[in-house]
Each structure stands twice: as structure tokens, then as C-alpha cells.
Amino acid sequence: MEIHEKIGFGAALILTALLAGQDIREKRVSLFVIVLSGSIALLYLAAGERLELVSLCFRILPGALLLFTALLSEEKIGYGDGAAVLVLGLWTSGIFCLSTVSIGLLLAGAYGTLLLLSGKKNRRIPFMPFLLTAMEVMLIYV
Amino acid sequence: MYKKVNGYFTVEAVYLIPIVLLLYVLVIVSGFYLYDRCVISQDGYLLAFRAGHFSDSAENYGEIIYADMPEEIDESYIRDRFSDRSKVYPYLREGELKIKVQNEEVMVTVSGFRRLLSVNKSVLRQNPIKIIRDVRRKNHGSEIP
């Protein structure tokens, strides 16, 4: 792993950890933190001369898909999750981001099943803690 | 400035979103596959067509057609150009290229992405200089009958 990748993964981990804390407490995440982190990620990419249009499209694709799904489903998933995944993609890569979201959804699905089995329907699940766990799984095992 | 946005999934969304995401990804991946297949087919045909004509296609030399075409074709002409394309087309990464000349035909087979994509193109070798000469001979020096 190259140094710029390590910095990117580190920044993504810090961002996800920050948002996970907020998400558990309030089920809401700070837009300011997401926008600030996204801006820094763009500047970081530009400084390293890695800001190419095709690569950028791949990076933001998973987040954009989640935001689009949030729009279509009338916020069955929060816009905050989509925006956070979008910034996560900027710091890491499109494939890493998509894999992380898939693992996160798997973990959230298992938790959702437990909730359903215990009779707690119509509950809202904070997604960022699962995304953080998924990132750690990806970084440690994959 | 410190506005907050929702960061939750409803329980039913947890089951639906993976399916929706999978569908999105499938559509995007099939789009890439079809596009790559089209451009690889086109490149394969064009390169086979051109390589079948050239007598000399050294690097930075230009492509030359002599009247006396050699039996063998310059395979490096096709290989060099496909190696450049593998950097651009995702399905051509770790691809395999086979070139064969048989019965006056140039056959180019390109397979990539664990043989998921396979394109086979064959082009008849024709020598334009010989064709023009034959027509002129037939028409007593003129290209128009």
C-alpha cells in the first residue's frame, strides 16, 4: 500500500468514526463535517495530481447511487449516509467503497433480522457504525 | 452551517437496498461489457485488416504497402496497439491475443477478463496495388472500364 493510500484510508476511518458516534447518539450526521472532509479530499487528490474525471466518477459512484436511492425511496435511507459514502469514496476508491458498503449492508441486515425477531418493527438503524465495522473488516482481512 | 442530515436505514431498507445496489451495479457493469466488446471488435477487425496489407510497419516508420506482399504478417503491429488498449478497456486487462494467418485470411482472437469476453474477427488479405494493376491491365491502362 502506497503512502497516499494509507493517508486516504486513515482519513476515511477518522471521518467514519466521527460520524458513527454522532449517528449512534442522534441518528443524524453533521453535514459540515462531511462537506469539509469532502473538500479536503478533493484538494488532497488535486495536490497529488490524481484528480482525473474518470477516476473521480468511479470514486463518487457508490455514494451517488445511495443518494439517488435515498431520493427515490423518500428517505428510507438517510441522505447523510449517501453523502458520507460519497466522501468515503473520494478518500479511498470506488471498488473499496462499494465493497465496504456491501459488507456494511450485510452487517446491518443481520442486525435488522435480530430486531425483527425480537419484535421491534419500524425501527431506524444507524448505518455509520456498520460502515465503520465494514471498513475495519476490509482493511484488516481483505 | 452546522446543519445535520439523517443518517439511518429503516429495517425494510436494509433488505431492499442491497438488491437495488446490485441491480445498479449489474446495469453499469453490463454497460461497460457491451461497450468494451464493441470497441474491441472494431479494433480487432481494423487492425487485422490493416496488418493484412502492410509489408512494413516498424515503429515510427509509417505503414507501407508493397506490391509483393510477404506470406507472413507483422504481428507486432497488432500486439503493440492492443497492449495500449488494455490500459483503457477494463475487460481487456490480463487479456489474451491470438493472431493466425490461414487461407489468405488474418484471424484475430481477443479474450479477456478470465475469458468472459471473447471476440473473433477474420479479414481477407487483399493487396490494393495488385488489384489496381489487374484492373488497369484488364482495361488497357485505364482504371475506368
The ipTM, to two decimals, is: 0.77
Give the rounded distance of the alpha carbon of B40 from its chain centre: 3
Q: Indicate the angle between helix axes A53-72 and B11-51, nearest 10 degrees.
A: 150
8 Å CB contact of B8 and A23: yes
Cβ atoms of residues B48 and B107 within 8 Å = yes
8 Å CB contact of A22 and B7: yes
> What cell was used for A78?
438517510
Residue of A nearest to B9 (CA): A77
All residues of chain A having their beta carbon less than 8 Å from the beta carbon of residue B21 are: 62, 65-66, 69, 101-102, 105
8 Å CB contact of B2 and A32: yes
Put simply, whether the predicted model's pTM sits higher than 0.80 gets the answer: no
Q: Is A2 left (phi over 0), alpha (psi -120 to 50) or beta?
A: beta
Write down the pLDDT at residue A43.
93
Interatomic CA distance for residues A108 and A134, integer angstroms:
10
- In sequence order, the β-bridge partners of residue B3 are none
| A and B: number of Cβ contacts within 8 A | 108
- In sequence order, the β-bridge partners of residue B109 are B98, B120
Shortest CA gap B72–chain A (Å): 40
Give the rounded distance of the alpha carbon of A79 from its chain centre: 11
Cβ atoms of residues A127 and A79 within 8 Å = no
Shortest CA gap B52–chain A (Å): 35
If chain B, 145 residues long, is cut into consecutive pieces of 10 residues, what is the mean pLDDT of each piece?
A: 78 86 90 91 89 69 69 81 81 84 88 84 85 87 74
Instruction: Kindly report the average pLDDT of chain A as a whole number.
Output: 90
Residue with grid cell 484492373, as numbered in its chain? B135
Q: Could you report the per-residue pLDDT of A83-123, keeping only the tens digit for each?
A: 999 999 999 999 899 999 999 999 999 998 898 888 877 78
Query: Which helix (H) or strand (E) is A40 found in, with range?
Result: helix A31-47
Interatomic CA distance for residues A87 and A12, integer angstroms:
8
Shortest CA gap A23–chain B (Å): 6
All residues of chain B having their beta carbon less than 8 Å from the beta carbon of residue A100 are: none
